[in-house]
Structure 1
Amino acid sequence: MTQIRCVKVLVYGMVQGVGFRYYTQQEAHRLGLSGHATNLADGSVEVVAQGESKAVDKLIEWLKSGPRTASVDYIEVYELGSSAANSGSFRAY
């Protein structure tokens, strides 16, 4: 049986204005995840991702460095309820 996991990841560093949300969306699609990536007022990016546990783990690992255009200082990971990101796709806004 497939284990479904949903997380909220806050990504800090130079992550706005560098295509971070776009590249996160591409990576999440590649991994088959649903959720979203959005800029926050403090300069960080919030990523909510749901899907197969191993795919979520892979996205978290990717978020630790992000795309080449970004400079990630650190991330914070929070476990959410399994239906927190119930949209069928991954959106960047």
Structure 2
Amino acid sequence: MHQFHATIHGKVQGVWFRAWTRDTARELGVTGWVRNLPDGNVETLAQGNPELLSKFERDLWEGPPLARVTKINTTQSETDEIIPSFSIRR
């Protein structure tokens, strides 16, 4: 299974970014999770086919209307661990 791990920087907390990310992932059929980080950034781990993950990453740059993404750090990998759905972690 393909996956990527991303840290999203900018104005991404307090703007519904996690809920938007979950909804976007579910619409695309991507599984994984998203959570706020103590430093004000947002972290996500997403699994799916490479084309869907590429689309998901492009969508993260847009974010919800009130968000302002300034940078996304990503790493891509393969995994045998399958995450069955997309959730918000707290």
Query: What's the TM-score, normalizing by structure 2?
Result: 0.92
For residues 58 and 83 of structure 1, the distance between their equivalents in structure 2, rounded to whole angstroms, comes to 22
Aligned to 1:88: 84
1:14 maps to which residue? 11
Paired residues of 2:47 and 2:83 also in contact (CA < 8 A): no
Aligned length: 89
Secondary structure of 2:72 counterpart: strand
Unaligned stretches of 5+ residues in structure 2: none
The answer to which of 65-74 and 5-14 deviates more is 65-74
- Percent sequence identity is 34
Question: Does the 8 Å contact 1:7/1:77 carry over to 2?
Answer: yes
- Equivalents in 2 of 1:82, 1:29: separation in Å? 20
TM-score normalised according to structure 1 size? 0.89
Give the superposed CA RMSD: 1.2
1:69 aligns with 2:66: yes
Distance change in 2, residues 1:83/1:67 (3 Å): farther
Retained in 2: the 8 A contact 1:6–1:83? no
